[in-house]
């Protein structure tokens, strides 16, 4: 997939496309020295990473103002969401504990000219947010039960979760429901037939009544 094919598939504005190309330039530069994304995916990054992240935007409910992306890594989906939602005044917080990755996120955000972005270089458990985010996202970070534990620590009762999961999603859901009550809406991934986006609401520990 070319950058232009991505822009058409994701229906992004010219300004958003320029932001994402600026991110891509920084990403390629850093990938020459650091292992931010798997080298096997670099050629197909506009589909495997950019479009995979962008597909979340149409799923988000109306009125979203704050997003927290857990374990943001190379900026997928967090930086992509910040670029696509900048014109809607949605504020995105990226939480990343690995120093080099956090430094990349800061550098990419500056190159993209984003002012709706904050990078917290800390472990998720230690990240202090001023208020519970409307949305929590995560991609390729941890198994679902662990993700929900992370998210519950910073989310509120009205926080919704959009978690990109792979082919083990059914097993992960089975395990997670032993510890958590939640409403789950699965969305099929547009980039990988074996992947699923889990939309989760009303999350609470199973021992709560």
Q: What CATH number does the domain containing 174 carry? A: 3.40.50.150
Query: Euclidean distance between the first and final Cα of the chain, in Å?
Result: 48
**pTM assigned to the model:** 0.94
- CA 87/CA 189 separation, integer angstroms: 25
Query: Is residue 206's pLDDT more than 90?
Result: no
pLDDT digits (tens, 9 = 90+) for 128-146: 898 999 999 999 889 999 9
How many structural domains are present in the chain? 1
pLDDT digits (tens, 9 = 90+) for 20-63: 999 999 999 998 888 888 888 888 999 999 999 999 999 999 99
Lowest mean pLDDT of 36-40, 82-86, 120-124, name the range. 36-40
The whole domain housing 200 covers: 3-205
Separation in Å, CA 191 to CA 27, 59, 187, 196: 20, 15, 12, 10
- pLDDT at residue 208, as a whole number: 64
């Amino acid at each position: 997939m070319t950058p232009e094919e991505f822009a058409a598939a994701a229906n992004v504005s010219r300004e958003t496309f320029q932001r994402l190309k600026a991110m891509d330039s920084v990403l390629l530069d850093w990938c020459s020295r650091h292992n931010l994304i798997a080298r096997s995916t670099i050629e197909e990054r506009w589909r495997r990473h950019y479009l995979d992240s962008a597909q979340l935007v149409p799923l988000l409910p109306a009125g979203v103002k704050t997003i927290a992306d857990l374990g943001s890594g190379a900026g997928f989906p967090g930086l992509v969401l910040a670029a696509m939602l900048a014109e809607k005044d949605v504020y995105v917080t990226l939480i990343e504990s690995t120093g080099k990755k956090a430094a990349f996120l800061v550098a990419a955000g500056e190159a993209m000219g984003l002012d709706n972005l904050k990078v917290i270089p800390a472990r998720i458990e230690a990240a202090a947010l001023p208020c519970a985010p409307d949305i929590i996202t995560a991609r390729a970070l941890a198994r679902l039960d662990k993700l929900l534990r992370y998210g519950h620590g910073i989310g509120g009762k009205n926080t919704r979760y959009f978690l990109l999961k792979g082919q083990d999603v059914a097993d992960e859901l089975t395990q997670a429901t032993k510890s958590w009550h939640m409403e789950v809406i699965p969305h099929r991934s547009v980039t990988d037939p074996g992947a699923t986006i889990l939309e989760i609401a009303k999350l609470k520990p199973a021992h709560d009544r």
